[in-house]
């Protein structure tokens, strides 16, 4: 006579209960991980666009502007950077670079980079003031307490671009 092997109903129920508890713990952490990576990706795309725009300004010896754009054809003066952005040079009618936005992210700039960032042929910022862009998402409930979930892009007068964790000098990331 052959012996049969398998799981009993009790063993199966215990295994499913343990798996359910593990899922309840893991899913919120996974969601946080996905949102954090999405924000980091967008910030890195913005930094890469800004560095490419500065490089193009120096290479072409022309002014190059990165501006927020809702239609990815022309610059916008309303809304935030999360709607997307384009890079335009003074010597060409079509955008050099185009990036579509992410609707569940908020990106705001200080006074000097609220709508656009312009690099001169020297690589310096046209405004001759440092600019800061701040990226937030719906995980931010309290701007001061949740600062580790915020990403900033800082553009110095000389055109140096860096990103960091935290809000830098802006105090809000709420939509306009």
Q: Which domains does the chain have, with CATH numbers?
A: 9-165 (3.55.40.10)
Q: What is the DSSP secondary-structure string of the chain? A: -PPP----HHHHHHHHHHHHHHHHHHHHHHHHHHHHHHHHHHHHHHHHHHHHHHHHHHHHTS-EEEEE-SSSSS--SSS-GGGEEEEEETT-SS-SEEEE--TTEEEEE-GGGSSEEEE-TTS-BTTSS-EEEEEEETT-SSTTTTGGG-EEEEE-TT--EEEEES-TT-------
**Residues 40-93 pLDDT 10s:** 888 899 999 999 999 999 999 999 999 998 888 888 888 888 889 999 998 888
Min mean pLDDT across 23-27, 42-46, 63-67, 104-108 is at 23-27
pTM as predicted = 0.78
Who has greater pLDDT, 172 or 33? 33
Mean pLDDT across 106-135: 88
């Amino acid at each position: 006579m052959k012996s049969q092997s398998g799981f009993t109903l009790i063993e199966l129920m215990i295994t499913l209960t343990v798996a359910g508890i593990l899922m309840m713990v893991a899913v919120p952490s996974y969601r946080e991980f996905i949102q954090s990576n999405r924000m980091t990706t967008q910030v890195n795309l913005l930094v890469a666009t800004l560095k490419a725009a500065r490089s193009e300004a120096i290479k072409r010896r022309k002014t190059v502007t990165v501006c927020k754009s809702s239609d990815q054809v022309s610059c916008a003066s309303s809304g935030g950077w999360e709607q997307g952005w384009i890079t335009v040079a003074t010597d060409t009618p079509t955008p050099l670079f185009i990036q579509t936005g992410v609707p569940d992210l908020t990106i705001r700039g200080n006074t000097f980079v609220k709508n656009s960032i312009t690099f001169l042929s020297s690589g310096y910022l046209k405004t001759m003031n440092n600019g800061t862009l701040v990226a937030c998402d719906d995980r931010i409930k309290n701007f001061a307490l949740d600062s580790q979930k915020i990403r900033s892009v800082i553009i110095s007068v000389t055109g140096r671009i860096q990103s960091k964790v935290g809000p830098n000098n802006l105090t809000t990331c709420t939509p306009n």
